[in-house]
Amino acid sequence: MEPLAERMRPRSLDDYVGQAHLVGPGGVLRRAIELGRLPSLILWGPPGTGKTTLARIIAHSLDCPFFALSAISSGVKEVRDTIEKAQKQRFFDRPAPILFIDEIHRFSKAQQDSLLGAVERGVVTLIGATTENPSFEVIPALLSRCQVYVLEPLGREQLQQLLERALAQDVVLRHLDVELKEYEALLRYSGGDARRLYNALELVCAQAQPGTPLVITDERVREAVQHQTILFDKGGEQHYDLASAFIKSIRGSDPNAAVYWLARMIEGGEDLKFIARRLVISAAEDVGLANPNALLMATTAAQAALQVGLPEARIILSQAAIYLAASPKSNSAYEAINKAQAAVRQYGAVPVPLHLRNAPTSLMKQLGYAKDYRYPHEFEDHFSVQEYLPKGLEGSSFYRPAENAHEQRLADYLRRLWKEKYEY
């Protein structure tokens, strides 16, 4: 028999639980479905939030052919074969066939490129499902042709609704004498993932004996659910929460907590590339110029971890996490680029001063390009006072050294060169 999660899969929008901002009354996707004008789209969110189910419901609602591929097992040939099949079922009086690609973030660039032509010509309406940020995992050319919709983890009330619905409607569970006395353990183990919730409920209900009432308590759930369910896996809601706790522990200079959250992610099967990327970002954003070696450590650790793989990669990642957490902290580089980008947005494309422009032709020289530029290496200390910011932004201050030993040395150096211009 099919698992409970499959037996309880919704067949219509009215049965679909969650994502009211998309498919509830007035939701953007519901309106598109009702109008029969569905764009190609990417559904981004943690597993168990209904991405596959929603794609199937959309195809059923629009009464159009539905083709599904998994990025794990499908290559360019399978994509092209499926597009060819879809093209044969493309009729002018019906919506385009839907091509659903699960875990589209696992597609290579070549695989994603193979989708472009069919999406552009309207041969198929693409629905991609991903647990990863599509800005990083989907090629720009394909992403620009799709709307991105974010699916949220299911909330407590929605998860309770799913539990009660399963006990009342499922062809197996509705014949059992089950009392759901306590919810907390089931909800906690689910992590906002409906599939994990159903799996846990099914495990508990497997203990039911004919003619004997089964009272579901938190203690009974803890006894029934295996250790692996307690551990976070990368598909659940905590994918985001654990990553946040990991980075905040590093930022807060707590190596013990950083290693603990790292262990949680590793034990849950988190992608090494995801962890490594977070370490590199934290090295630049949170440690920054207080310890410039941190970025070198994080980058080298990321490369080494991906090269050797697990289980040894855990040692490399642990070393990097401890080093970053134990390093002095500064977000001055992060703040500086934020301020500089804000100035760009405020003042627009201010012309580059003439003395800072290159002059590779005689015409450019006649127009004053590079005129009066002072080549720093020709002066004492390899420095010459001149203005490097464009007109209207002279004197702007974007970088402010933080109170740490390394940046205070930088501040002293800048003050010695620029005098009052770099007085902080």
Class of 156-230 in CATH: mainly alpha
**Per residue in 262-315, pLDDT tens?**
998 887 778 888 899 999 999 999 999 999 999 999 999 999 998 888 888 899
pLDDT tier at 382 (50, 70, 90 boundaries)? very high
pTM: 0.54
Q: Identify which of 120, 79, 72, 123 has the alpha carbon closest to the alpha carbon of residue 98.
A: 123
Q: Where are the domains of the chain?
A: 18-150, 156-230, 238-325, 351-422
pLDDT band at 336 (very low <50, low <70, confident <90, very high): very high
Q: Is residue 95 predicted with pLDDT exceeding 90?
A: no
| pLDDT(233) > 70 | no
Residue 171 pLDDT > 80 = yes
For 357, the token pair is 């422009």
Place of tokens 């974007």: 398
Beta bridge partners of 148: 42
Chain segment 35-80, per-residue pLDDT in tens: 888 899 999 988 888 899 999 999 999 888 899 888 777 778 888 8
Closest to 40 in 3D by CA, of 147, 133, 131, 167: 147
State the average pLDDT over residues 208-227: 79
- Assign domain 351-422 one CATH number from 3.90.550, 1.10.10, 1.10.3710, 1.10.3470: 1.10.3710
From the list 144, 145, 138, the residue with the least C-alpha distance to 118 is 145
What percentage of the chain exceeds 90 in pLDDT?
29
Mean pLDDT score, 157-184: 89
Instruction: Work out the mean pLDDT of the chain and round it to a whole number.
Output: 86
Tell me the two tokens of residue 23. Answer: 């498919």
In CATH, what class is 238-325?
mainly alpha
- Euclidean distance between CA atoms 385 and 255, whole angstroms: 44
Report whether 197 contacts 8 (CB < 8 A): no
For domain 18-150, give the CATH superfamily.
Answer: P-loop containing nucleotide triphosphate hydrolases (3.40.50.300)
Most confident of 237-251, 279-293, 410-424: 279-293
pLDDT at 318 over 90: yes
Q: pLDDT above 70 covers what percent of the chain? A: 96
User: Quick one: pLDDT at residue 227?
Assistant: 43
pLDDT bin (cut points 50, 70, 90) of residue 92 is low
